[in-house]
Structure 1
């Protein structure tokens, strides 16, 4: 049985923003049986000795699979896809394309988006000039993605894969801004991903787990 180590309690300001959503979404998409082990972040459980023994950077989420404990959402999703044969092509070239776009989502695209989100959450102090630089960087990347998505539904292959899941999760950090408005292909891609039943189930399960307001985290 797979175990997802996720937030059992976290500050309400980040409800709906935590990365355990990505892994739970993948598990729901793949239809894999799993249990959730919730950790109380606000009570300091994620810095205690029990958690430190399994998490190299005291970060959630983690995935436990028959004694193997993995951190980092990209590594977790690639492992799940490879071992289940789901959300990844069977051929080597197709797998390479999907893994490429997983890395693009988590490095190239998320590079400016994550600090931009942290600024908007007030986690990095006063924004100053850096927000303008990050916004410009984000626009450049969204333009590139928009070009890539012309004439296609999904980023790596014709089918929805873990690369799409990760890219949509990264783009979701922009949902309270208007930054995607000028990029119709990106926005349509994002809306297709967010409409998937497995994502909607994930939000329901997440809200129940954290006692969060479902209407506010979507």
Structure 2
């Protein structure tokens, strides 16, 4: 079973490339950049009417939304990252939605004002407000990780941890963002130490 990932590694496509590296199976990466000739091309719009990456093609199925793609891949292959029971499946979905709704909006705002914008255009007040807004969901995540022995589902590193970590990635240039949540910081450290994460980062460096 093979699949194709459309997108470039310096977008949310990096999350799916990370998952693909975790799976260790053959796949095709079609480097599709935002803009003319890429996401605005008729061929790509036929796959993704929103014109956004990443997009997964797999056995006739076309999926967008990076975190949903990861959930699908985790279940499509025999891997410890996927659910072993329907209960684990529910929990992995829950934590993925938590990451998307409770973490990502403010984590992305932190990213904008620490790395994405030129330094002269960054707003420290906006960054700090976003960090303050993250305190409650990070505390909830901390509680769950402590209860789970360092992981969110099944006592092992799963797609739930990967999807959450892919959003913690936005906080990498904000020193102290995880200081009040040591279990969250430990998960982030574990994620960065995984060979598949390192492989994904190499893909980002290649462009």
TM-score bucket of the superposed structures, by smaller chain: 0.7 to 0.9
Structure 1 residue ranges (4+ consecutive) displaced by more than 4 angstroms after TM superposition: none
* SS of alignment partner, residue 207 of structure 1: helix
Sort the Cα spacing of 1:148 and 1:54 in 2 relative to 1 into closer, same or farther, 3 A: same
Aligned-pair CA distance for 1:43: 4.9
Preserved contact between residue 165 and residue 193 of structure 1 (Cα < 8 Å)? yes
Q: 2:178 aligns with which of 144, 160, 180?
A: 180
* SS of alignment partner, residue 53 of structure 1: helix
Cα distance in structure 2, aligned partners of 1:128 and 1:176: 13
> Which residue of structure 1 lines up, in the alignment, with residue 153 of structure 2?
156
Q: 1:122 aligns with which of 112, 117, 120?
A: 117
> Which residue of structure 2 lines up, in the alignment, with residue 138 of structure 1?
134
Aligned-pair CA distance for 1:117: 1.7
Preserved contact between residue 10 and residue 204 of structure 2 (Cα < 8 Å)? no
Sort the Cα spacing of 1:70 and 1:119 in 2 relative to 1 into closer, same or farther, 3 A: same
Identify the range of structure 1 (129-138 vs 190-199) with the bigger mean alpha-carbon deviation.
129-138
Aligned-pair CA distance for 1:112: 1.5
> Which residue of structure 1 lines up, in the alignment, with residue 167 of structure 2?
170
Identify the range of structure 1 (87-96 vs 165-174) with the bigger mean alpha-carbon deviation.
87-96
Aligned-pair CA distance for 1:171: 0.4
Consecutive unaligned residues in structure 1, runs of 5 or more: 8-15, 211-218
Count residues in correspondence: 200
Q: 1:112 aligns with which of 106, 122, 135?
A: 106
Cα distance in structure 2, aligned partners of 1:174 and 1:63: 26
Aligned-pair CA distance for 1:19: 1.0
TM-score, with length taken from structure 1: 0.83
Preserved contact between residue 40 and residue 46 of structure 1 (Cα < 8 Å)? yes
